A = this chain, B = another copy of it.
Amino acid sequence: MTVHIALDAMGSDLGSDELVDGAVQAVQEENANLEVTILGDRTQVESALARHSHPANINFVPTSEVITMAESPFVAVRKKRDSSIVVAFDLLKQGKVDAVVSAGNSGAVMAAAMRYLGRLKGIARPGIASVYPTLKGPVVMMDVGANVDCRPQHLYQFGVMASVFASVTFGIAEPRIGLLSIGEEGGKGNSLVRKTHQLLKQSSLNFIGNVEGRDTFQGDVDVIVCDGFVGNVCLKLSEGLAEAILTMLKEEISKTFKARMGYLLARHAFADFRKRVDYAEYGGAPLLGLNGTAVICHGRSSSLAIKNGIFVAGALIDNKANEKIRVLLNDVCQGLEDVNLSVTGTE
């Protein structure tokens, strides 16, 4: 079955060329079985497309408006009906495409998704899952920014959704779920985390307990659950620290001739390292918990990141991720009703 993706071509900081190139690379990949409808400004997209020789499985729908990074998501989505983001979700709602991929204003993508798709039945709060590289393989962190004030139930459901995502994307049968906290014991952490620990412990999920910030990059866990404030801080802190470390290393290396020669010899290792930790390899961050499929790509996405973002969306559709979330939510919630109620009640 061909999966049909709507790609917002107006979002990237790097311009429409990278986005269009990513789409073309995606459809041309062997066994891809993809069709991509690109949405965006006619001049920009047509000039980007003109650089390729009439690729098959690429459509174009011109849109006249753009939602910028600075705009208020909810206002922009309500007013800019002919923006690439809004038209993309409208196509998805009408069943004309299977998923939306955007590197634009992530708040606006979330707002449009909520307006046009709504939540998956039983999900209290959709959220954003992000993939990190670790020493042993990828780890999924959820939520990384959609929900800044959460209840235990919300974190619990992030665990369910991220578990399905890790399973369909990385082929892990029973993803190990860790709860981000500041001590391994169940009694450690803030009140949100302590209550969430109880919920997860009583569920049938593969919950391995609390994990600390230090454990994030060890690869001993497949899913890390946290609220969107903490997750977003972690995401940006990690990006900032990785950049700072490489900058400092280069500063030290550039101080002596000998070290500069050493760097020249070792530079392929540096490049391989960069590739290993490059978010572009993982493509995009899916919005999970929606009545539909959407993937947010980084604002500075390369064509490789866009291509992989499209593949992430395709994998979610191919593997019926939303159907699996519905089933898992029902399964693990059996017998949890009382706990849910009491936890909600004490807040």
Contacts and interface: CB of A to CB of B under 8 A. Distances in A.
This chain's copy number in the assembly: 2
Interface stretch (A74-82, A108-116, A187-195): A187-195
Nearest to A228: B182
A255 interface: yes
Contact of A262 (B216, B255, B266): B266
A266 B266 contact: yes
Contacts of A180: 233
Interface stretch (A154-162, A201-209, A240-248, A333-341): A240-248
Interface string A251-291: 01101101111111111111011001100000000000000
A81 B81 CA distance: 70
A182 B265 CA distance: 39
Contacts of A267: 262
Contact of A253 (B190, B252, B269): B269
Contacts of A272: 252, 255
A308 interface: no
A148 interface: yes
A75 to B, nearest CB: 13
Contacts of A263: 262, 266, 269
Interface in A187-230: 189-191, 193, 212-218, 227-230
Nearest to A257: B265
A216 B238 contact: no
Interface in A92-115: none
A73 B190 CA distance: 17
B269 A262 contact: yes
A239 interface: yes
A265 B259 CA distance: 5
A260 B134 CA distance: 23
A238 B241 contact: yes
Given A182-B236, A268-B259, A244 B218 contact: yes
A145 interface: yes
A243 B240 CA distance: 15
A213 B229 contact: no
Interface in A163-200: 180-182, 189-191, 193
25 contacts: A135-B244, A135-B248, A149-B190, A149-B191, A180-B233, A189-B229, A212-B240, A213-B234, A213-B237, A216-B241, A217-B241, A217-B243, A230-B233, A238-B241, A241-B241, A245-B245, A249-B270, A252-B272, A252-B273, A258-B268, A259-B269, A260-B266, A262-B263, A262-B265, A266-B266
